[in-house]
Amino acid sequence: MTKYITRFIRETFEWLDFIISYWPGTSGFLLRSWWYRRKIKKIGVNFRSGIGLVVTGGGNIEIGDNVSIMRYSALYANDNGKIRIGNNVSINSNVCIGAADDGEIEIGDYVLIGQNVVLRASDHEHSSVTIPIMKQGHTGGKIIIEDGVWIGANAIITRNTKIGAHTIIAAGSVVTHDVDPYTIAAGVPAKIIKRRK
């Protein structure tokens, strides 16, 4: 009986989370701000969230001041993941920031993240060819985005990478290794195409 009560309570919170996440208008904006302050470990002042934000592992997420996350984005930090977002960060629509499965993501101050960007700090393990990949678990890593970075739309940032301060990652790029500060990187995989200094 206790199992069913626990399941009912969990499902009730899931429904409440869904309703608040999609509540329209100014009242929805205020309701989401209130709700996420209870769901996320730390949120600074002036947090703004569009509809459809999905958050898992909120106890492992810290968000600074003046952060805006637009509609249909996701923050995943369950299973020992960690996400830290600095101050004055703008995250566009449909962005996935995934640090689950022992991954870690640090985003500095004054960072711009375009729509449809994926930051994934953990990969599927795939060393065995006799075990299906989906049964091999995950390997966590770290992503560091330093201050003043602009990540263009549809870019992908993979684990164990560091993007230096004031760098631009061109739209559609795939970052698989560190990128120097004050540069512009583009391509698949991303390569430095210009120095900003």
- Residue-by-residue pLDDT tens, the chain, 197 positions: 688 888 888 899 899 999 999 999 999 989 999 999 999 999 999 999 999 999 999 999 999 999 999 999 999 999 899 999 999 999 999 999 999 889 999 999 999 999 999 999 998 888 888 899 888 888 889 999 999 999 999 999 999 999 999 999 999 999 999 999 999 999 999 999 999 97
Number of domains in the chain: 1
Lookup: tokens for 61: 């997420």
134, 112 Cβ separation under 8 angstroms: no
Torsion angle (degrees, nearest 10) of CA 175, 179, 183, 189: -30
Domain residue limits at 190: 2-195
> What amino acid positions are annotated as catalytic residues?
124
The CATH number that applies at residue 90 is: 2.160.10.10
Torsion angle (degrees, nearest 10) of CA 116, 191, 89, 98: 50
Torsion-angle region of 32 (φ positive above 0: left; ψ -120 to 50: alpha; else: beta): alpha
Tokens 């940032």 -> residue: 157
User: In 10 A of CB 183, how many CB atoms?
Assistant: 20
Give the 3-state secondary structure of residue 36: helix
Taking the whole predicted model, whether its pTM rises above 0.95 is answered as no
